[in-house]
Structure 1
């Protein structure tokens, strides 16, 4: 079985930040992820739409393709394991560069579980799968931004909102925002989802750069 794969959409020599995109999947599925799968392709389209923003802000924009399609385990979820591998690769290439994780559906849950990596400064969740009781300790000291369609039938906007509310005392900052009338797959209101990612990443990176160097920020 092939291992996880990193697809790089922008590759600045000296990036100011790294944005790692994480795609969705299924609760149980050990089949390999393929480029034809909608969950991966959806985030590949998002990555393409973010290229101009990433280039303008000297961001290394990368999409992870997991080894298998499913979450598969509560104690050792497959996509979390792959995300930690990806973070190790990216931070070895660019030590000290802040990372923002951007995940859709299962990718949002994965991002929240992997947020405790020392390089990660924030998580952007798009219609994230965050079931009741989802552990949230990894989000401590990070920025959390969640956007969820109000008529999502695949993942619960109420559950993701509850996760954000539970995380407010742990996170540096945590917000939840609805997209009225939107479902799960980001097909409608596509520009709304993209702008949310751009605005959230900019906000997170500006805030963290101000914490370290008050006179610097991101355009």
Structure 2
């Protein structure tokens, strides 16, 4: 893709794609795409779940360039969560290690859609992570919250979402508030799981990222 550079975190993936150019990197936004509950099939660069994160990456790159924000889009090795293996979580953690190697100990904001939202929330305990934006995240009963201690969490759901239901997100947030620095819910009206109101979702991503990093007012 134009203006994007991709490299493998490890020999067999996952892969990171950097959007835009930022010479003086002071923070990183790491985007994680969605997937399936169970699948050991490999991901592909042109599949819809992967491409769904491109508008977010471009919007964040435009908004954050003058603030030293590097925007990285993660492509997972496998399409599925795969039960106790939780394969996407390992990929996010590998990406966070790669960020530290490349940019040093800069703060990171994680943004993930659906399965990617669950993986981002699970990986939030890494020292560099300041906040997580769950975009219609998959947060089933029993999902842990301890790793969110001191982090900022925002969950945004389309009000018509039937894949990852707003009620499940709210239930998770009630538990997360016991440990998180903040844990808020934002309804996105007239939308569902595919996030077709691209401009509105981009606004949410930019506002949350900027607020956590200190260069934007909180979103609403």
Q: Partners in 2 of 1:80 and 1:107 — Cα distance? A: 9
Give CA-to-partner distance per residue, 1:77-120, whole Å, 9 cap, x none: 11100111100000111222100000011111001000000111
Relative to the length of structure 2, the TM-score reads 0.89
Structure 1 segments (4+ residues) deviating >3 Å: none
Give yes or no for contact 1:10–1:59 (8 Å, CA) kept in 2: no
Gaps of 5+ in 1: 207-216
Gaps of 5+ in 2: 1-10
Give CA-to-partner distance per residue, 1:151-201, whole Å, 9 cap, x none: 1011111101111111112001111011122100111x2111100011101
Matched with 2:206 is 198
1:60 equivalent to 2:64? Answer no
Q: Partners in 2 of 1:73 and 1:86 — Cα distance? A: 21
Q: Partners in 2 of 1:56 and 1:176 — Cα distance? A: 28
Give yes or no for contact 1:18–1:61 (8 Å, CA) kept in 2: yes
Matched with 1:211 is none
Give yes or no for contact 1:105–1:155 (8 Å, CA) kept in 2: yes
Give yes or no for contact 1:57–1:218 (8 Å, CA) kept in 2: no
1:116 equivalent to 2:131? Answer no
Matched with 1:71 is 81
Please give the secondary structure, in 1, of the residue aligned with 2:116. Answer: helix
The number of aligned residues is 207
Q: CA deviation at 1:8?
A: 0.5
Matched with 2:61 is 51
Q: RMSD value over aligned CA atoms? A: 1.5
Give yes or no for contact 1:10–1:54 (8 Å, CA) kept in 2: no
Q: CA deviation at 1:51?
A: 2.2
Q: Partners in 2 of 1:69 and 1:2 — Cα distance? A: 14
